[in-house]
Structure 1
Amino acid sequence: MEWWKTIAPLVGVVLGSLGTLLGQKLADTRTLRRDRILAQEEAKIRLRAERVSFQREAIIEIQHGLEAIMAANVPSRGRSLSTEFRAAATQSALHLNAHIARLEDRELATGVQEWLGAHANAEAARIALDDLQDRLSRQLRALYSDQPV
């Protein structure tokens, strides 16, 4: 009996099994790499969406806070403000600093901080506030349109 006739099929089975295992390993490696890249891309997209949402909320809160401060400090002619209203506006000013810290645009944050400083008169404060509100609105529109900020 020839021994190679007996061993040849066994060697073929072993080599075939090793080839199959190697092929599976390579396919699994490619799949894992692809899944990892997709997960990283999804994480980047999710983080960007969270950052944009965070910025939107901060800008909206800053706009509301600035208006409240302006309303508390400059009442309409012939109108007096209640102490409760002034207290609420002061509370709004305290929260405003937390929202300013959340802004990524440091120039815009500095502009808001400068506006919170003293103004010569109510008209100057209103003009400065209108300019600041325009800048905040442009920033907000850019965030909503998903343009790079």
Structure 2
Amino acid sequence: MEWWKTIAPLVGVVLGSLGTLLGQKLADTRSLRRDRILAQEEAKLRLRAERIALQREAIMEIQHGLEAVMAANVPSRGRSLSNEFRAAATQSTLHLNAHIARLEDRDLAVSVQEWLGAAHASREAARTALDDLQDHLSRHLRSLYSDQPGE
């Protein structure tokens, strides 16, 4: 009996099985790598969208807070403010500082802090400076909206 005629088909089956297993392993590795890369890209996009949303929220809160600070600290002529109103404005300023700390644009944050710390000569000067600052905030907010990835 010729033993190689019996063994040859078995060796062929074993080699074919090993080839199939190796091919499947390579396909699985490629698939896992592709899935990992896609998951990382999705996570980056999600984090970027969340960061942009936080920046938008911070800027809008800062804009509202600046108006409240303006109203509390620079009253119109002939108008006095109660101590309760001033205390609420002080609390608003604390919240405003928390939102300023969340800004990624340090120049913008410094501009807001400078306006808050400035001693304005008059209501008109304060309003002019605030309007310029609000314009700067609005431009930054628009740029955040234009950079938003598709949702």
SS in 1 for 2:113: helix
- Cα deviations across residues 48-75 of structure 1 (Å, max 9, x unaligned)? 0011011001101111110000011223
For residues 148 and 124 of structure 2, what CA distance do their matches in structure 1 show? 34
Counterpart of 2:102, as a letter, is R
Query: Matches of residues 1-149 of structure 1 in structure 2 within 5 Å?
Result: 1-117=1-117, 118-146=119-147
For residues 120 and 71 of structure 1, what CA distance do their matches in structure 2 show? 15
SS in 2 for 1:104: coil
TM superposition shift of 1:78? 4.2
**Structure 1: which 5+ runs fail to align?**
none
Counterpart of 1:137, as a letter, is S
The runs of at least 4 aligned residues of structure 1 exceeding 3 Å deviation read 76-80
Q: Which has the higher contact order (CA 8 A, sep 6+)?
A: 2
For residues 64 and 89 of structure 2, what CA distance do their matches in structure 1 show? 10
For residues 147 and 6 of structure 1, what CA distance do their matches in structure 2 show? 68
TM superposition shift of 1:121? 1.7
TM superposition shift of 1:29? 0.5
TM-score by length of 2: 0.92
When structure 1 is superposed on structure 2, of 116-125 and 38-47 the one drifting more is: 116-125
SS in 1 for 2:147: coil
- Count of residues in correspondence between the two structures: 148
For residues 49 and 116 of structure 2, what CA distance do their matches in structure 1 show? 30
Tell me if the contact between 2:120 and 2:126 (Cα under 8 Å) persists in the aligned partners.
Answer: yes
When structure 1 is superposed on structure 2, of 138-147 and 38-47 the one drifting more is: 138-147
Tell me if the contact between 2:65 and 2:93 (Cα under 8 Å) persists in the aligned partners.
Answer: yes
When structure 1 is superposed on structure 2, of 77-86 and 9-18 the one drifting more is: 77-86
Tell me if the contact between 2:65 and 2:96 (Cα under 8 Å) persists in the aligned partners.
Answer: yes
